[in-house]
Amino acid sequence: MKKIIFIILFGFLFSETNNKVTIAFGSCNHQDKKQILWNDIINENPDLWIWLGDNIYADTNDMELKKKYYLLQKSNYDYKRLLEITEVTGTWDDHDYGKEDAGKNYLKKKESQQLLLDFLDVKDNDPRRKREGVYHTYVLDKNGISIKIFVLDTRYFRDDIKKNIFFRYKENQHGSILGDDQWEWFENELKHSKSDVNIIVSSIQLIPIQHKSEKWANFPNERERIFNILKKYNIKNPIIISGDRHIGEISKITYNEMNLYEVTSSSLTNPWKIKRNDANRFRVNSIVYELNYGTIDIIEINDELVIELNIKSNNGIKQSSIQINN
């Protein structure tokens, strides 16, 4: 049985080792804006790049225009260099889905789904081409380390939410984010996971509850359901990665003696113009306001797994860190 050591930090780098897996990820990337972080991401030599949503900005019902925006992003010189060295997977959020804060009632969701799958180079015989929604798993086995990635779709099936007079979303006590089919798939995939590390991809934040933007806490029963399932099946080293917020932060919650970490990495091109200090009682360390991307580095050293969660801005700045040993 491998021992697990979590190291959560901003900007700290592991020394070189053969038994290392690196997963990089990011969100909120405007195709028309300067994209300065791709060189830094390429220098990480990632084994996988994960899009967390808002991969382009295309709030439109015009699918030809959306296709044009995807092609523009795919023609970015430095992004093409990343595609040459690593695999890519991911999900969407509202602005690449097609409408701000949209859910299951977006009229062009079927057409939009195929364009995202084209952008991700998903093969014609992939199950995502035939079923509704872009959820899927990705398994990465390298150097004796097994990682299972559960990519969720928080848009296609999501029930409506409404804002109150203070422009905060009201809780939807009975609605769903994932929908019945995706929940069944998700629980079944978790139940059978034997991986050393299990990464759950959500375009919106799962752990934080206090900010007024979209989040799992708008559907409190859905949020609780994820925690219960992770606990029920005793999932090894569950890690959430999310985007959407145009900030970077790491959150931690202890739920029924289960430690769960979430790395929010946003934005690749669109940082907050005003550095407001949104409350998050679960935040570890401070908010990252700069343009940023995330990495998860997993290293096996003397039969121990060392897991490092990072949020990195240009040239890997942000040198604050916290270490947690299990």
Sign of CA dihedral 243, 246, 248, 253: negative
Strand partners, 147: 140, 197
pTM: 0.94
CATH number for position 306: 3.60.21.70
- DSSP letter at 233 equals T
Segment 152-189, tens digit of pLDDT = 999 999 999 988 867 788 899 999 999 999 999 999 99
Question: How confident is the prediction along the chain (326 residues), in pLDDT tens digits per residue?
Answer: 555 566 555 444 444 445 899 999 999 999 999 999 999 999 999 999 999 999 999 999 999 999 999 999 999 999 999 999 999 999 999 999 999 999 999 999 999 999 999 999 999 999 999 999 999 999 999 989 999 999 999 999 999 998 886 778 889 999 999 999 999 999 999 999 999 999 999 999 999 999 999 999 999 999 999 999 999 999 999 999 999 999 999 999 999 999 999 999 999 999 988 888 899 999 998 899 999 999 999 988 888 888 999 999 997 664 334 444 44
Distance (Å, rounded) from C-alpha 39 to C-alpha 185? 36
Residue 293 identity (one-letter amino acid) = Y
pLDDT in tens, 246-278: 999 999 999 999 999 999 999 999 998 888 889
Contact 53/243 with Cβ under 8 angstroms? yes
Q: What is the dihedral of CA 110, 112, 113, 117, to 10 degrees?
A: 150
**Domain span holding position 93:** 3-325
Q: How many domains does the chain have?
A: 1
For 141-206, the DSSP string reads EETTEEEEEEE--SSTTPPP--B-TTSPBPP-SS--SSHHHHHHHHHHHHHT---SEEEEE-SS-S
| Beta-bridge mates of residue 250 | 263, 284
Supply the DSSP string of 89-116, one letter for each residue.
Answer: EE---HHHHTSTT--TT-TTHHHHHHHH
Helices (H), ranges, the chain: 38-43, 63-74, 77-85, 94-97, 109-119, 179-191, 220-232
Read off the amino acid at residue 154. Answer: T
